[in-house]
Chains A and B, each alone.
Chain A
Amino acid sequence: MKAPQHPSHRKRRRRNFGDRIRAWIRHHYTQCYDSLLRIVRTPVNSVVTCLLIAIAIVMPTIFYICTDALQSNEHYWREPITLSLFLHPQSNGKNLAHHLQQLPEVKTVKYIDAEQALAEFKAQSGLADMIETLSYNPLPEVIEIEPTADAATHQQLAALKNKLLALKEVAQVQLDIEWLQRFQQLVMLIERIGTLIALLLLAAVVLVISSMVHWIISNRRDEIEIIHLFGASRAFIRRPFIYTGFWYGFIGGGIAWIFAKLILDWISASLHNLLALYGHTYNLATITPLLGLQLMFGTALLGVVGSWIAVVRYLRHHIELPVNL
């Protein structure tokens, strides 16, 4: 054994700010690396946890991509809204059409005279022979109006309809927007249900990671108590577990990316073939690298939240110092 050291020889070197920052960065680096190694060293638990996370994440991801694709390809499935103006006999339809074109709510105007209307009716109705027997043309002149996108809400269309109906040349205005209302309500309902399910699944991810980290904390209870007694701050104690949550989320998000890609490719092929039969070419949006990275880091953030909850709860219940009396 070496000769004892006199206290006067022991130097308490004051650590400067740079030393502390370097130590802080080093601790982050070592804990980040160490927590990843610990995950790798427990492959069965880690794989199960990451798969659970991935399964919970992949459903909202596909829902998001599909609704995004529906919205960005709206023109494929959405019919343009039109108002059909049936005019009184002897009205000057051409002049009225010219006048209507000047209205700010109107995008396009199509004038159909009585002869043209009859010809179209003959062609589409299959009643050509019967129509031939008529001694006069019973169809009125029609003006079809397509409103601008800014004037396409239910209320605006109703107001435009009343405005047009007030014109003396107009006998009747037909606006079929009930289908649109029903469709919009249905889309809204689907979006809300989808959002609710997505939120529940994201909460499930947080809970899965939280319970996994809680289990890890329980296994490392002795270590936590020792470093606590040697003066570790709460942040120091939290750090390895926060990184563990981060890695679970990051890896789970990565697996979800792969799953989502495979599922979307599979659905997209079938959808493409189906639409090809109707003469459309349509490709379902795929998961881009940017979206994939967002998915991984977003899930990692959920992992941080989950692990934070677990470790803060543990610290509060087990090693928190009683408050000053």
Chain B
Amino acid sequence: MEMIRFNDVSMRFANGYQALYDINFTIEKNEMVFLTGHSGAGKSTILKLILLSERATRGQIWMHGRNLRTVTSKRACYYRRNIGTVFQNNQLLFDRNVYDNIALPLIIAGYPQTQIARRVEAVLERVALDDYATRNPMKLSAGEQQRVGIARAIVNNPLLLIADEPTGNLDPDLSDSIMNLFAHLHDSGTTILIVSHDLSLVQKMQHRVITLKNGRLTGDTLR
């Protein structure tokens, strides 16, 4: 089953900059895909289009069988609850502890308190941070902070997990560790789209790679 489909998608920003030209690709359910390319290639624009932070100027994007053009501005928030996002600099909130950071998507979605507690505990186990619930994320290492970020992204059991340069700020060992975590999540059935410009890391992972250059799709290879 298709998770994401881009049909002749082009994107021109209001300032006239053309970020994408006729992009076509499909990501199947339970697939793990890397999106690579140099700066300005259009990787972030694709993520913005999937997250509905921007609308494509031409073409159609389908997410889990739904045309994103049919998602109104008002309903976009409900759509976004189906996507978990991991950021390069983890974007944790340092005015609250690990538990509260991870619980955020569940609070937004209106889950009962008991279910939130159960899910946060379970996800902390999955990312091997069982005893970190009450800690302040500021006091964690970069790798631990990224794990918290991943836990927050998957706690709501999203249909799609998006990671934007998740190892950008990490050393090679920590990068491997985070990538292994993604591989585990993929093995458990999560559809994952990882944006990365670290080609060595991408090649090491042996998964499908979509390559962009100057807004055009230049490669789509299954390794």
- Measured CB to CB, the residues of A under 8 A from B are 1-2, 4-8, 10, 12-13, 15, 19-20, 22-24, 26-27, 222-223, 225-234, 236, 320-325
Does A236 lie within 8 Å of B188, measured CB to CB?
Answer: no
Does B104 lie within 8 Å of A230, measured CB to CB?
Answer: yes
CA separation between A260 and B203, bound complex, in Å? Answer: 73
Q: Can you list, as one digit per residue, whether each of B158-185 has a CB less than 8 Å from chain A (1) or not (0)? A: 0000000000000000000000010011
Can you report 14 residue pairs joining A to B where beta carbons are below 8 Å apart? A4-B185, A7-B190, A15-B110, A26-B113, A27-B107, A227-B108, A230-B80, A230-B85, A231-B105, A321-B55, A322-B54, A323-B73, A325-B57, A325-B69
Which B180-208 residues have a C-beta within 8 angstroms of A?
181, 184-185, 187-190
Contacts A226-B93, A230-B104, A230-B105 hold; do A322 and B111 have CB atoms under 8 A apart?
no
Query: For residue A231, which residues in chain B have a CB less than 8 angstroms away from its CB?
Result: 77-81, 105, 108-109
Query: For residue A227, which residues in chain B have a CB less than 8 angstroms away from its CB?
Result: 104, 108
Query: For residue A232, which residues in chain B have a CB less than 8 angstroms away from its CB?
Result: 77, 108
CA separation between A194 and B113, bound complex, in Å? Answer: 52
Query: For residue B188, which residues in chain A have a CB less than 8 angstroms away from its CB?
Result: 4-7
Given contacts A19-B112, A232-B77, 15 further A-B contacts (CB under 8 A): A1-B184, A4-B188, A6-B189, A19-B111, A23-B110, A26-B113, A222-B91, A226-B93, A230-B104, A231-B80, A231-B108, A231-B109, A320-B73, A323-B55, A325-B69
B15 sits at the interface (CB 8 A): no
- Measured CB to CB, the residues of B under 8 A from A are 30, 51-55, 57, 69, 72-73, 76-81, 85, 91, 93, 104-105, 107-113, 115, 125-128, 152, 156-157, 181, 184-185, 187-190
For B85, B93, B110, B126, the residue with the greatest tally of chain A CB atoms inside 10 Å of its CB is B110
Query: For residue A7, which residues in chain B have a CB less than 8 angstroms away from its CB?
Result: 30, 188-190
Does B77 lie within 8 Å of A234, measured CB to CB?
Answer: yes
> How near does chain A come to B136, taking the closest CB pair, in angstroms?
15
Query: For residue B77, which residues in chain A have a CB less than 8 angstroms away from its CB?
Result: 228, 231-234, 236
Nearest A residue (CB) for B184: A4
CA separation between A22 and B115, bound complex, in Å? Answer: 13
Contacts A324-B69, A324-B72 hold; do A230 and B112 have CB atoms under 8 A apart?
no
Nearest B residue (CB) for A11: B157
CA separation between A26 and B57, bound complex, in Å? Answer: 40
Nearest A residue (CB) for B124: A2
CA separation between A184 and B110, bound complex, in Å? Answer: 60
Query: For residue A320, which residues in chain B have a CB less than 8 angstroms away from its CB?
Result: 73
CA separation between A225 and B51, bound complex, in Å? Answer: 12
Query: For residue A229, which residues in chain B have a CB less than 8 angstroms away from its CB?
Result: 51, 53, 80, 85
Residue from A1, A228, A236, A322 in contact with B55 in the complex, judged by beta carbons closer than 8 Å:
A322
> How near does chain B come to A250, taking the closest CB pair, in angstroms?
23
Nearest B residue (CB) for A27: B107
Nearest A residue (CB) for B152: A230
Residue from B52, B85, B112, B187 in contact with A321 in the complex, judged by beta carbons closer than 8 Å:
B52
Does A10 lie within 8 Å of B157, measured CB to CB?
Answer: yes
> How near does chain B come to A235, taking the closest CB pair, in angstroms?
9
CA separation between A26 and B108, bound complex, in Å? Answer: 11
Does B81 lie within 8 Å of A321, measured CB to CB?
Answer: no
Which 3 A-B residue pairs are closest in the complex by CB-CB distance?
Answer: A7-B189, A4-B188, A231-B81
Nearest B residue (CB) for A4: B188
Does B55 lie within 8 Å of A4, measured CB to CB?
Answer: no
CA separation between A23 and B111, bound complex, in Å? Answer: 6
> How near does chain A come to B75, taking the closest CB pair, in angstroms?
10
Nearest A residue (CB) for B162: A229
CA separation between A22 and B187, bound complex, in Å? Answer: 35
Query: For residue B107, which residues in chain A have a CB less than 8 angstroms away from its CB?
Result: 23, 27
Nearest A residue (CB) for B130: A2
Query: For residue A233, which residues in chain B have a CB less than 8 angstroms away from its CB?
Result: 77-78
Contacts A26-B113, A226-B93, A231-B77 hold; do A5 and B108 have CB atoms under 8 A apart?
no
Does A1 lie within 8 Å of B128, measured CB to CB?
Answer: yes
CA separation between A229 and B82, bound complex, in Å? Answer: 11
Nearest B residue (CB) for A26: B113
CA separation between A232 and B78, bound complex, in Å? Answer: 8
> How near does chain B come to A114, taking the closest CB pair, in angstroms?
87
Query: For residue A225, which residues in chain B have a CB less than 8 angstroms away from its CB?
Result: 91
CA separation between A226 and B148, bound complex, in Å? Answer: 14
> How near does chain A come to B57, taking the closest CB pair, in angstroms?
7
Nearest A residue (CB) for B30: A7
> How near does chain A come to B145, taking the closest CB pair, in angstroms?
14
Does A236 lie within 8 Å of B108, measured CB to CB?
Answer: yes
Nearest A residue (CB) for B70: A324
